[in-house]
Amino acid sequence: MNLSKSQSHYIKVVYELSSNGEGVRVCDIAQKMGFSKASVSLAMTKLEKEGLLRKDKKRQVFLTSEGEKQAIQMMDKFAIIHKFLTDTLKVDEKIAMEDACAIEHIISVDTLCALCRESSKVNKKSTCIEHCNVSEDNVANQ
């Protein structure tokens, strides 16, 4: 599934805010992202049509299993890229955060895995990142 950068950010924010298993209010998403409630509400409606989230009778937002899978994959991508930039290339933390956020939306799985392998070599670890959810099977067409 190809998500836009904006959609990916919304999905990740819903995932982060719903970590306690409860639904998320549109106003909480809007506050965290610095957007208007109207903009967030429109985005939530579109993501609901895509099958990535659902709203309950109280209008709280919940990720579907596909939405949760997408959020976890994006977070793993970010973590791999960020780790490579900071640990291997010694990029400044603030710059690495911004760059990892931008790169995560366009990087191929092949390149991501190469970054991960290189980072593992430099840091003398036998595995990439524990419980990585980024693989060819999980990230088709991203």
**Residue 36 in 3-state DSSP?**
coil
Residues 86 and 52 in one domain: no
State the residue range of the domain holding 102. Answer: 71-122
Low-confidence spans in the chain with pLDDT less than 50: 126, 130-131, 136-142
CATH number, domain at 28? 1.10.10.10
> Which tokens sit at 85?
């930039």
Q: What pLDDT score was predicted for residue 123?
A: 64
Q: How far apart are CA 68 and CA 52, in angstroms?
A: 8
CATH number, domain at 86? 1.10.60
Q: What pLDDT score was predicted for residue 108?
A: 87
| Residue 128, in any domain of the structure | no
What are phi and psi for residue 63, nearest 5 degrees? -75, 145
Query: Which residues does residue 55 pair with via DSSP β-bridges, in sequence order?
Result: 61
Instruction: Please count the structural domains in the chain.
Output: 2
| Residue 127, in any domain of the structure | no
Residues 52 and 15 in one domain: yes
Among candidate residues 25, 49, 68, the one where a domain is terminated: 68
Q: What pLDDT score was predicted for residue 131?
A: 46
Residues 62 and 10 in one domain: yes
Q: Is the dihedral of CA 41, 42, 45, 50 positive or negative?
A: negative
Residues 12 and 52 in one domain: yes
